[in-house]
Amino acid sequence: MGDNVVLAARHIAKSFGGVQALKGVNFDVHAGQVTTLFGENGAGKSTLMKILSGVIQPTAGEILLDGQPVEFESTTDASRHGVSIIHQELSLAPNLSVRDNIFLGREIPGTGGVDYAEETRQTRALMEDLEEAIDPLAPVDSLRLGQQQIVEIARALSVNSRILIMDEPTSALSASEVEVLFGVIRELKSRGVSIVYISHHLEEALQVTDQAVVLRDGNMVASAPRDEIDLPWIVQKMVGSHFDLGTPPPLNPDADPVLEIRDLSIRMEAAGGKAVNDLNLSVRPGEIVCIYGLMGAGRTELLECLAGRVPAEHGQILMRGEDISDMTIPERIDNGLVLVPEDRQRDGLVQTMSVGENLSLASILDFCRRAFVSDRLERGIVDRAIKEVTVKTDGPDAPVTSLSGGNQQKVVIGKMLATSPSVMLLDEPSRGIDVGAKGEVFRLLAQHAEDGLAVIYSTSEVEECIAIAHRIIVMNRGRIAAEFSNDITKEEIMAASGEAVIA
């Protein structure tokens, strides 16, 4: 083992039933450097990180810390050895405050009990380091997803770990928050902290990478220092070929709108007033519309209001000319309007159900006959969905929690496509999806748009705006700040959103 390798995996294998997630992987973490782990969903990245942080134990192989064999029986055990992890899927207690989440299980003792004042002071200091004005006493469930991600990061930073594993830490962050996080990473490196970084945002990851490792199908297929790699190298090693997100399908410009939004305003007290203000938008069959904006721009609130999750203050939502503003979520689904939510774990999946049960949940009435469920009809829906969205699974009866993050996202998309919608709303559909799966999802959307499906998706990745969208809507503080066709540059999109363009 090299002199600067502080943590190493040697010949690590891991099996889940008949599925071999890791196949004898060797992996080194270098002192004071960022080692970035690239790979498609299902490649074994998260499994390897869970082994290194004590979440699960390997089937075979060993872990070396400072050259000595070590076994992590739990995350607490790993933490005692200086290894901490920020998980891709948030592991916060939503009913507790920001402060209580950060110090959960390691409360600071004081006279007569817990020293809450000191915990509050340290929490506030962490938030200042991360440049986030989050109240330490705010309940976590009152925060937006990106803010919850900041709390998760703050909790890991508060432990002062020697080795910090970051599994998709920027998946819910705005561009400005990503820059703050990168500043924190550089500061940690200067203190000698070793960082393992996993991200599907390839160009973003290259900004902080010192060493790159690529996993494919449970095997390590490539490893190189930063000065020997670039974006094409990473993509080629991950998927074995060049990839792109596709192009917009042909569009009938004379078709009548399938969805119209008129003077829509949404009041959200958590947003400090109006999250969306007098917004007007129409979408035609087969049209793909991208909504871009920074956190707080109103993208999520708009999509959730259209789907019926949050009420409108005033305005109209029309489907084929019919006002659906007062309809419930099931009624809107029946009318062909569906949403793929931003947080798949909380809002998109039922964790205790199987892959098949999740896929068929939204279209349950299609296979019910009076008081009985037709297993044959349900299985037909499930089998078609698995094939259509290319879910990598042991089968429809496999637990949905056994899937990688990207395949779980495909299940959510497949569930909504099974309802045969006319309009599909997708809030950050590529969150936690690797480069190959992302291409599959966008090609799938383009294919359905060619068949007449209207698609509206939000994204915080500029490259996704100019991929398959016919139109790009830029939102800023609840209003449409600009509207572009897909021949626009990413710098113009970012400027319209109020985002500083980073050279």
Phi and psi for 474 in degrees, rounded to 5? -100, 125
Q: Is 272 left (phi over 0), alpha (psi -120 to 50) or beta?
A: left
pLDDT tens-digit map of 243-292: 567 778 888 888 999 999 999 999 876 545 688 999 999 999 999 999 98
Q: In the structure, what pLDDT confidence band is assigned to residue 372 with cuts at 50, 70 and 90?
A: low
Q: Give the residue with greater pLDDT, 46 vs 303.
A: 303
pLDDT at 312 over 90: yes
Q: Mean of the pLDDT values across residues 117-138?
A: 90
pLDDT at 177 over 80: no
**pLDDT for residue 228:** 93
Q: Mean of the pLDDT values across residues 120-130?
A: 90
Which of the residue ranges 101-105, 261-265, 359-363, 482-486 has the most confident prediction, judged by mean pLDDT? 261-265
**pLDDT for residue 347:** 84
**pLDDT for residue 371:** 63
DSSP string, 28-83: EEETTSEEEEE--TTSSHHHHHHHHTTSS--SEEEEEETTEEE---SHHHHHHTTE
- Please choose, from the candidates 193, 146, 202, 142, the residue with its C-alpha nearest in 3D space to the C-alpha of residue 169: 146
**pLDDT for residue 3:** 60
Distances, alpha carbon 426 to alpha carbons 12, 202, 366, 385, 454, in Å: 37, 22, 23, 17, 11
pLDDT tens-digit map of 8-57: 999 999 988 767 889 999 999 999 999 999 887 668 888 899 999 998 99
pLDDT at 219 over 80: yes
Distance CA 190, CA 114 (A): 33
pLDDT at 501 over 60: no
Q: Give the residue with greater pLDDT, 284 vs 295.
A: 284
% of the chain at pLDDT higher than 90: 38
**pLDDT for residue 271:** 47
pLDDT at 500 over 60: no
Distance CA 206, CA 149 (A): 21
What's the distance, CA 30 to chain centroid? 27
Q: Give the residue with greater pLDDT, 387 vs 309.
A: 309
Q: Give the residue with greater pLDDT, 320 vs 488.
A: 320
Lowest mean pLDDT among 89-98, 371-380, 403-412, 459-468: 371-380
Lowest mean pLDDT among 10-14, 139-143, 498-502: 498-502
User: 230: which 2 tokens?
Assistant: 């670039």
Distances, alpha carbon 390 to alpha carbons 50, 195, 318, 384, 447, in Å: 25, 33, 33, 10, 14
Q: Output the CA torsion sign for 139, 144, 145, 146.
A: negative
Which helix (H) or strand (E) covers residue 489, if one does?
Answer: none
pLDDT tens-digit map of 429-444: 887 676 777 788 888 8
Which helix (H) or strand (E) covers residue 275, if one does?
Answer: strand 273-283
**pLDDT for residue 41:** 65
Q: In the structure, what pLDDT confidence band is assigned to residue 88 with cuts at 50, 70 and 90?
A: low
Q: Which residues pair with 454 in a beta bridge?
A: 423
**pLDDT for residue 424:** 96
**pLDDT for residue 272:** 53
Q: In the structure, what pLDDT confidence band is assigned to residue 195 with cuts at 50, 70 and 90?
A: very high
% of the chain at pLDDT higher than 70: 91
* Residues whose CB is less than 8 angstroms from the CB of residue 195 and which lie 6 or more positions away in sequence, other chains included: 33, 34, 35, 163, 164, 165, 166, 185, 188, 189
